[in-house]
Amino acid sequence: MLTSILQVLAENLAGGITTLTNTEQIDFSHPVNISDQNRDCLLNVYLYDIRKSKQMQHSQGWDVKRHFTEGKAEVSPWPTWFDISIIITAIDRTNTLGEYRLFYEALSFCLQHKSLPEQLLPLELQGYGDLLMDVLDPPIEIGGLWSALSAPLRPTIHLTMTVPIVVGKKEEPYLVTQRVFGMQHSSSEATKSQSTRRVSIVGIIKNRKTKEPIAEVEVALLGTEKSVTSDSQGLFSFENLRDGNYKLRLSCRGYESLNCNVLVENGTHTFKEVLLTPDWYLSIIGTIKNCKTKEPIAEVEVALLGTEKSATSDSQGLFSFESLRDGNYELRLSCRGYDSLNCNVLVENCTYTFKEILLNPV
């Protein structure tokens, strides 16, 4: 469960919020054990302390969820809430100023987002709402902390997250449970000489925007020769894997490729829901009008600052940008006969943002 939390945090930090391009630039190692691995720019995210939360109410007992249509009940204990302490440091071996910039981007993310949204969390952490996080003083004196880590003092973000720890897993989607049961019992009539099939990883792949399942996604188990393809319901699985950390590489025409980590432990199967981002989608759409007459303005040049992208408004004053990562963007609008204007636009959750902009005539 702690591994899942760190993975979600890493995916957010590398998901367009910072200059990092993928989660391979997030290192979870002890600060003195960070490996270069040909990475000039990275964030070190290290969990160093966990203790029972004093702010969250702790209840004892059992939570019973009845599924009347399926004639069964799911019983699980109430969670115990813990505060986990994480340090985040930035490393840029090519440019000190670049290191400060990366540090500032990570700090801005932590200050702007006071929680990890529930919909981004893995299945076992859903049902408890958004997970609170904040930049706070560490529970250990800073000098003593770095001394205990045997690492030199450096600029650090001290992040505290409040998370539920529950014994047992939340119920998986019915399709996944059916898939696992079917695979493990498909050879019940087979001869005794056949080896037992044990499902180690089972997952479902969905469109991040529509939440619809995606078929024909190639899922490669990196470091091995194993690969599978998702079926019409978006399901995939791997069998007979040893306990350990694995990395999946997902590729599908029409979607951005994605790497994700999966932990297999205790000889049981691990469920993973993966969301793929379409490689084309509308991110920003806007209309530009005269602030006095409210009439649309054509031929306005709209530049997306910090990129090479630009657009020009049509006869209805409309413009758009496609396939942008989530994040804050700044637009620069220029048109003969009007004052130039800069404005900010937030793109999030792979959905488009509508912006109405009024220009002042000269």
Residue ranges in the chain whose pLDDT is less than 70: 1, 15-18, 35-39, 57-78, 122-124, 166-198, 266-269, 349-351
Residue 144's contacts (CB-CB under 8 Å, 6 or more residues apart) are none
Last residue of a domain, one of 243, 259, 276: 276
Where in the sequence is the domain holding 137, given as residue range(s)? Answer: 2-165
Dihedral over Cα of 124, 128, 130, 131: its sign = negative
Q: In this structure, what token pair is assigned to residue 136? A: 């706070």
Q: How many whole angstroms separate alpha carbon 107 and alpha carbon 104?
A: 5
Q: Does 312 lie in the same domain as 261? A: no
Q: Does 89 lie in the same domain as 53? A: yes
Quick: pLDDT tens for 155-204.
999 999 988 886 654 444 545 545 554 554 454 444 443 444 567 888 88
Q: Would you say residue 187 lies in a domain? A: no
Q: Would you say residue 242 lies in a domain? A: yes
Q: Does 142 lie in the same domain as 29? A: yes
pLDDT, position 79: 76
pLDDT, position 218: 96
Q: Would you say residue 160 lies in a domain? A: yes
Query: Residue 201 in contact with residue 262, Cβ under 8 Å?
Result: yes
Q: What is the CATH number of the domain that holds 225?
A: 2.60.40.1120
Looking at the structure of the chain, the number of domains it has is 3
Q: How many whole angstroms separate alpha carbon 88 and alpha carbon 155?
A: 9
pLDDT, position 5: 81
Q: Would you say residue 300 lies in a domain? A: yes
Q: What is the pTM of this model?
A: 0.45
Q: Would you say residue 184 lies in a domain? A: no
Last residue of a domain, one of 248, 276, 304: 276
Q: Does 158 lie in the same domain as 21? A: yes
Burial of 97 (0-12, 13-18, 19+ CB in 10 A): exposed
Other CB atoms within a 10 A radius of the CB of residue 311 amount to 18
Q: Would you say residue 188 lies in a domain? A: no
Q: Does 148 lie in the same domain as 9? A: yes
Q: Does 52 lie in the same domain as 156? A: yes
pLDDT, position 119: 72
Amino acid at 211: K
Q: Does 137 lie in the same domain as 117? A: yes
Q: Does 26 lie in the same domain as 155? A: yes
Q: Does 118 lie in the same domain as 31? A: yes
Last residue of a domain, one of 245, 276, 307: 276
Q: Does 211 lie in the same domain as 65? A: no
Q: Would you say residue 214 lies in a domain? A: yes
pLDDT, position 35: 62
Q: Does 321 lie in the same domain as 262? A: no
Q: How many whole angstroms separate alpha carbon 256 and alpha carbon 248?
A: 14
Q: Does 235 lie in the same domain as 156? A: no
Residue 83's contacts (CB-CB under 8 Å, 6 or more residues apart) are 50, 51, 52, 53, 54, 55, 139, 160, 161, 162
Q: Would you say residue 185 lies in a domain? A: no
Helix (H) / strand (E) element for 179: namely helix 174-185
